[in-house]
A and B are shown apart, each in its own frame.
Chain A
Amino acid sequence: MSEHSRHDDLAGYLIGALEPDERVAFEAHLGSCPRCRDEARELGDTTLALAQLAPPFELPAGLAAGVLAAVAAADQPTGSDPGALEARPESTAEGGAPRRRRLAWPRLAGLGLAGAAALAAAVVIGIQLGDQDDLARSEAPPVELAGTLTTPDGAGGGELVVSLLASGRRVSFESETLPILPKGEFYEVWFVGPGDAPARPNRISAGTFHPDEQGLTDVTLHAAVDPALFPRVEITAEPGDGNPAVDGELVLVLEATDVADGP
């Protein structure tokens, strides 16, 4: 066979589709053909990628249409007071927007059902006196602090808003990626004071919640606390054993040095 036709075997060689004798002959050719070597190098990554080729599968009819319909359906306004959350500007607005902090959510890996020590996510946000210009509605209570929480892989997170009412503090938390907990377990929001320790807790619960069946969380909780005494906010995952003590394992703690000053 002429050298010319040897080049033609490059692709066959790379995809492993040569007869054994062809392969041997091509390998010999490759040793002395820079042109083939160059092209083999160019196509190397593609060949490697092809080596991982997933088995074929059939797509259901109307997959894309079903997806778009689901997103459209999900786009309906949600219940309880979406205004307070959505009115918040994403970037600095006139009058000074509340400073946003991106806080690392604990990596929620290994979500096995095992473990009496439930997975806990702790969120600590500095107190920040909100600027009332940012509010969409004049009746809305002053936003004390607001934060976007994101997992390290960027895939999960939620929006937290704490507002100061005459009756205490209102916590709104919205997330579509908070993991659904095993049956009987739930998330609990805490306002935590200085010196809080497992043996000597110094915290007030704002209440408990769990994501709905679709993994969506949109809850508003309330706690009659003085923010000066209990400045930190934590969310833990509790075992739901009827014991009001904190059993959740703390995965992440941020220091209260994140406190921002004034409006």
Chain B
Amino acid sequence: MARMGAGDRGEPLEALVERYSGPLFGFGLRLLRDRGMAEEMVQDTFVRLWRGAKRYDPERGSVRTFVYAIARNAAIDLQRRAASRPLSTDEGDLGSAGAGDEPFDKLVLGLDVRSALQTLSDKHRQTLELAYDDDLTQRQIAERLGIPLGTVKTRSHHALRALRQELEVRGLV
């Protein structure tokens, strides 16, 4: 953040974009329920991040908190400009929520976990996706993929450990 504040538009910004543009898009999609607006929100967020980088104070909170707080404000402004539906999801009115608010925190964590999943190997990611997104048991996964049950069990184990490592790197566990 400090390097960005000094005007470095290279690696530090790119690293942030790589880490957060995906989950932020999901975040925008949840709040704004429109792909075009979600993409615009992501761009607005990074422009504001870029401009406000020197104002970031690590004492106040993590970069992650900073990023999502800015994103939420960007979503609010977009929603207002478009005079569209108020920001709300099944979890409640996220328009007035903020960091520390449980539905907000859960949403943000969930998006980060989804993004962390993408960094796993194909086999590991697939195993967890089939279990969580498709609600399959290991036996059903084995059947669907035509592989031995033992292989699925091993993959699950390794996938969980790999995910844990990734979440640790991101400071989420």
Q: How far is the CB of B42 from chain A (nearest CB, A)?
A: 6
CB of A74 within 8 Å of the partner chain: yes
Judging by beta carbons under 8 Å apart, are B60 and A154 in contact?
A: yes
- Best-surrounded residue of A10, A54, A72, A110 (most CB of chain B within 10 A): A54
A68-B13, A110-B96 known; A15+B160 contact, CB < 8 A:
yes
A220 to chain B: which residues have CB within 8 Å? none
Are A8 and B150 in contact (CB-based, < 8 A)? Answer: yes
Interface size on B, residues (CB 8 A): 74
A52:B106 contact, CB within 8 angstroms: yes
Main secondary structure of the interface of B (DSSP, over half): helix
CB neighbours of B18 from chain A (8 A): 64
A215 interfacial by beta-carbon distance below 8 Å: yes
Interface residue count on the A side (C-beta < 8 Å): 59
A interface secondary structure, majority:
loop
CB-CB nearest in chain A for B101: A109
Q: Which of A68, A72, A150, A155 has the most CB of B within 10 A?
A: A155
Binary CB contact string for chain B from 46 to 74 against chain A (1 if under 8 A, 0 otherwise):
11101110111100110001100110111
Q: Is the CB of B69 within 8 A of A155?
A: yes
In the complex, the answer to whether A63 meets B80 with C-beta atoms within 8 Å is no
A213 at the interface (CB under 8 A from B): yes
Is B161 a contact partner of A43 (Cβ separation < 8 A)? yes
- The residue of chain A having its C-beta at the shortest distance from the C-beta of B47 within the complex is A74
Q: Taking each of A8, A9, A59, A109, which has the highest tally of chain B beta carbons within 10 Å of its own beta carbon?
A: A59
Question: Cβ of B143 < 8 Å from any Cβ of A?
Answer: no
Instruction: Please tell me if B126 contacts chain A, counting CB pairs below 8 Å.
Output: no
- For the complex, give the distance between the alpha carbons of A46 and B162 in Å: 10
Q: Which residues of A lie under 8 Å from residue B70 when comparing CB positions?
A: 155, 177
Which residues from chain A contact B80 at a C-beta distance below 8 Å? 113, 179-180, 182
Picked from A8, A19, A148, the residue with its CB within 8 Å of the CB of B139 is A19
Do A45 and B25 touch (CB < 8 A)? no
Residue in A11, A156, A176 whose beta carbon sits within 8 Å of that of B47 in the complex:
A176
Q: A11-B153, A57-B25, A64-B17 are in contact. List 17 more A-B contacts (CB 8 A).
A: A9-B153, A12-B138, A16-B131, A53-B110, A53-B133, A54-B111, A54-B113, A57-B114, A66-B43, A67-B43, A68-B13, A75-B9, A102-B57, A110-B96, A155-B66, A213-B81, A215-B48
The 7 closest A-B pairs by CB, nearest first: A155-B69, A54-B110, A11-B156, A45-B173, A52-B110, A70-B43, A11-B157
Residues of chain B whose beta carbon lies under 8 Å from any beta carbon of chain A: 9, 13-14, 17-18, 21-22, 25-26, 29-30, 35, 39, 42-44, 46-48, 50-52, 54-57, 60-61, 65-66, 69-70, 72-74, 76-77, 80-81, 95-96, 98-99, 106-107, 109-111, 113-114, 117, 128-129, 131-133, 136-139, 141, 150, 153-154, 156-157, 159-161, 163-164, 167, 172-173
